[in-house]
Amino acid sequence: MLITVSGPGGSGKSTLATTLADRLGYDHLSGGDIFREIADDRDLSPLELNKLAEEDDQIDRDLDRRLRSTARDSDDLVLESRLAGWMAGEYADLRLWLDAPLDVRAARIAEREDKTVDQAREETQARADSEALRYQEYYGIDIHDHSIYDLVINTARWGPDGVLALAGDAVENYNGDADEGKFPVTGVTYDF
């Protein structure tokens, strides 16, 4: 089973993806891991690559191509990134979207990155706005369209254990052979 975990910064993607993969005995791959591999391939630090990505769209395209390829070639995997649900396309069995109000996410990021909540809120919103524009420009993806996701969870309502329980129930009760089957991501072609 290929499970994708997507959502904005501070929504709990990494926490859920790691614990869900551990619980299921699946592999876990994050877009951040792939980003670091791309940085290594180019002999850059992740920070240097991030700055370069603002000028060079091929960096995002390389990351997304690797996500798509990994989704195509993997079983028993939890794939995590903002676009994992979209990039996995028809290969995904279960797509999860995590979210929380900006103030909640900013507080989490501030604590994790040792910065003020105001700074985290401003940076998080700016990053989200920039990514939304790039996703639309590159692939025609409206990141605010959650219709492809099987389950959308507001992580402000549950702690990590509650979110894991909800996702675990979704996996346990998943019926890939149902008439409704997978919800294909149709009409979207990606030009990497």
Query: In this structure, is residue 21 part of a structural domain?
Result: yes
Query: In this structure, is residue 191 part of a structural domain?
Result: no
Average of per-residue pLDDT across 155-179:
89
| CATH number, domain with residue 109 | 3.40.50.300
| Chain segment 141-151, per-residue pLDDT in tens | 999 999 999 99
pTM summary value: 0.85
Query: In this structure, is residue 87 part of a structural domain?
Result: yes
Q: pLDDT value at position 127?
A: 81
Statement: residue 177 has pLDDT above 80: no
Query: In this structure, is residue 180 part of a structural domain?
Result: no
Query: In this structure, is residue 72 part of a structural domain?
Result: yes
In terms of DSSP bridges, do strands 151-154 and 2-6 run parallel, antiparallel, or are they unpaired? unpaired
Q: Give residue 180's pLDDT band: very low, low, confident or very high (50, 70, 90).
A: low
Statement: residue 192 has pLDDT above 80: no
| Chain segment 105-127, per-residue pLDDT in tens | 999 999 998 999 999 999 889 88
| Chain segment 39-75, per-residue pLDDT in tens | 889 898 766 887 788 788 888 888 888 888 888 888 8
CA distance 55 to 25: 39
In terms of DSSP bridges, do strands 94-99 and 77-80 run parallel, antiparallel, or are they unpaired? unpaired
Query: In this structure, is residue 177 part of a structural domain?
Result: no
Domain count, the chain: 1
Q: What is the pLDDT of the chain when averaged over all its residues?
A: 88
Token pair 């994050």 is found at: 30
